[in-house]
Amino acid sequence: MPRDYTTPPHLRPVALWRLPLADGRVASATLAPTASSVAVVWYFNEALQDAAQFPDREAAIAWAQDVRDKLLARLVS
């Protein structure tokens, strides 16, 4: 994949986490900043599950961590 040199680094999407499961399925979350807000989207097997918009990175990352923690709790129980 070619590098994007036109978008400032603070506005580029970032993979926050990826959870590969033993059966081959994968859950993942991506942070997508804009000039005025931050979106988080999470996928299960590349299918969009949910997305949320936040005023800042900290709130977005906290939401993504909560999603990950809930997924992990469901896998353990």
pLDDT digits (tens, 9 = 90+) for 8-32: 777 788 999 999 988 888 999 999 9
Amino acid at 26: V
Helix, coil or strand: residue 38: strand
Question: What confidence category does residue 51 fall into, taking pLDDT thresholds of 50, 70 and 90?
Answer: very high
Cα 67 to the center of its chain, rounded Å = 9
pLDDT digits (tens, 9 = 90+) for 40-49: 999 999 999 9
> pTM for this one?
0.81
